[in-house]
Structure 1
């Protein structure tokens, strides 16, 4: 009987050991599962942290060897936000203007970190007879896209000066032009001014077609300290891969630190990544101008975002909502992942 008990104990012990081994193997297999992360980014130098994170392999390092990264480059924030809402991309960089407008329609993605603040300037045509913001009455001002962060800033700037946006020359007329097209339009004097992200403004000044009317650190809201580029993630990605989303935040922070500590080296890397995304690089001097005119930061403030949402609502870009009180951005920013990353340092 005693012998039988001993044999039974040994058998149970071996069964437990095999079961534990099987459990560990399953866990390892799970952690070794292949995953594809779809990253979206705009073909704009103000997305520099994203460029560096891709070029230096920070995303790959944080996601791990079993992750495959697919990058989609967008021409504007509206297309990016639509792609994010429809799960064509998982994570990426965009301006808050179009992201807010899309979020209030779909509510299925979140801001998880900042990337940079500021970075846009108001340029007046050299011979347009514009010496102050008030001189914009009766003039045509270009912005990259409808509802863009740049348009929100322009509308705030005009409000500060008591000016109205109109469809005729009784006020300020706002039109949309891609930055490259705006450069040509300014040369040909088809538009009078533009609120545009760097380095396009610097390029206009250097070639003599424009002059700075309002510098980047005086652009509203918050005198240039407003989010121009933010890091977004879809709810689906956050639910299934919260660890990878935290990895993206870490990669973003690593890229910001690298640019701050190695600005000269960053110019070439940014140009190379821009060439890969758009087919054309950029002169280091222009990249420097862009980086000098923005504040790289992973932090983001809800009150500034809410100010921008207010302008979007008044401009009619927020559809399907009749009362501004229905504009709820309380869940638009999920700072929990960024907080966890900071605590882990």
Structure 2
């Protein structure tokens, strides 16, 4: 870690003045580069929050780079924005980003950020006390094709349940996390597989209970990529050095959280307030973060497994499972370079 810290410090000193802009029309008159970063309003994006709040991105990029942050509620909107170059780089789940990549093939996974951090919550009066009890019930996920839906489908399959549109199986509906919170309060849905901090908030309010904790959610019992760092091909081609520095900032965010958890809670809350208009109780952030495994590593095998579920569910069309090739999608070359140069 000491060597990595020395490398990261060196990167701060070696920031190169770069002309042009990753998004064309956003190039300032003084030649300043604008980097547009996308991120979710979830604690599972904690490393990105800290990297922003502690100024790691800005220090890595240098004063000649302007940062614009855009918050997203779901991976589908994020992935569309990335593929259409509305944003350059950011944090998302593998489910929706894989679905979009198969269609557009113009962005890549360049680093991990967090493994796990989603939980299955059952409503207080739902009568659901086990996964098997979900038969005939309605379960909410943030958006169709999301990483959370893929995990839910795997969990149901493990328990011999099918996804249906009637009471012979489990009905899945898509609702934004904030709307799901309201629906759980009103008893309109029976359960939800949802990223933190939403599950912890529901449990604290007493409107639901965590039925399956994060370290039992498939695949790999929670040790699957839930938050990855991705960048579009145009940004990678024009600003490869900035992409490496973004990876370094992400790693700094991970290290800061592990070394300074109390200070990290404040940083995370600061960014939550900016993105959603309101923060969380520090104890909720602490509890939610305990459900996350922050890491820059990426399990390609887990992403491939989730992609196969997406094919079965009809979210990835026009390709058979045996034809799926995600090697161009998961390109960890820059991450490997950052780690190698840190040694």
CA deviation map 1:204-233 (0-9, x unaligned): 112221112111100000000011110001
The answer to whether structure 1 residue 237 and structure 2 residue 235 are counterparts is yes
Taking the aligned partners of 1:165 and 1:114, their CA distance within structure 2 comes to: 30
User: Could you tell me how far apart the structure 2 residues matched to 1:29 and 1:210 are?
Assistant: 50
- 8 A Cα contact 2:33 2:64, kept in partner: yes
Residue 108 of structure 1: aligned partner: 106
- Unpaired segments ≥5 residues, structure 1: 1-26
Structure 2 length-normalised TM: 0.90
Q: Are positions 1:337 and 2:310 aligned together?
A: no
2-structure distance, mates of 1:279, 1:163: 38
1:19 corresponding residue in structure 2:
none
TM-score by length of 1: 0.89
RMSD: 1.6
Listed one character per residue, the Cα deviations across residues 119-138 of structure 1 (whole Å, up to 9, x for unaligned) are 01111112222221111110
> What residue in structure 2 maps to residue 5 of structure 1?
none
Distance 1:28 1:336, change over 3 A: closer
Residue of structure 2 equivalent to 1:188: 186
Tell me the matched-pair count: 318
Q: Could you tell which deviates more after superposition, 176-185 or 136-145?
A: 176-185
Matched-pair contact (CA < 8 Å) for 2:19–2:32: no
Give 1:28 shift.
7.9
Larger mean CA deviation between 123-132 and 333-342 belongs to 123-132
| Corresponding residue for residue 13 of structure 1 | none
Matched residue, 1:85? 83
Structure 2 residue 123 is matched with structure 1 residue 143: no
Aligned to 1:206: 204
Pick one of 244, 257, 260 that aligns with 2:258: 260
Please report how far the alpha carbon of residue 327 of structure 1 lies from its aligned counterpart in structure 2 after TM superposition. Answer: 2.3
Q: Aligned-pair distance for 1:289?
A: 1.4
Residue 221 of structure 2 aligns to a residue whose secondary structure is: coil
Question: How big is each residue's C-alpha offset from its partner over 1:86-117, in whole Å with a ceiling of 9 and x where there is no partner?
Answer: 11111101111110000000010000000001
What is the alpha-carbon distance in structure 2 between the residues aligned to residue 29 and residue 188 of structure 1?
Answer: 52
Kept in 2, the 8 Å contact 1:38–1:70? The answer is yes
Q: Which residue of 1 aligns with 2:47?
A: 49
Query: Relative to structure 2, which stretch is displaced further, 177-186 or 28-37?
Result: 28-37
CA spacing shift, 1:214–1:246, aligned 2, 3 Å: same
| Partner residue of 1:317 out of 297, 315, 318 | 315
Q: 2:256 aligned with 1:247, yes or no?
A: no
In the alignment, does 2:157 pair up with 1:159?
yes
Please state whether the residue corresponding to 1:223 is helix, strand or coil: helix
Structure 2 unpaired stretches of 5+: 1-15, 21-29
Partner of 2:6: none
Question: Does the 8 A contact of 2:19 with 2:33 survive in 1?
Answer: no
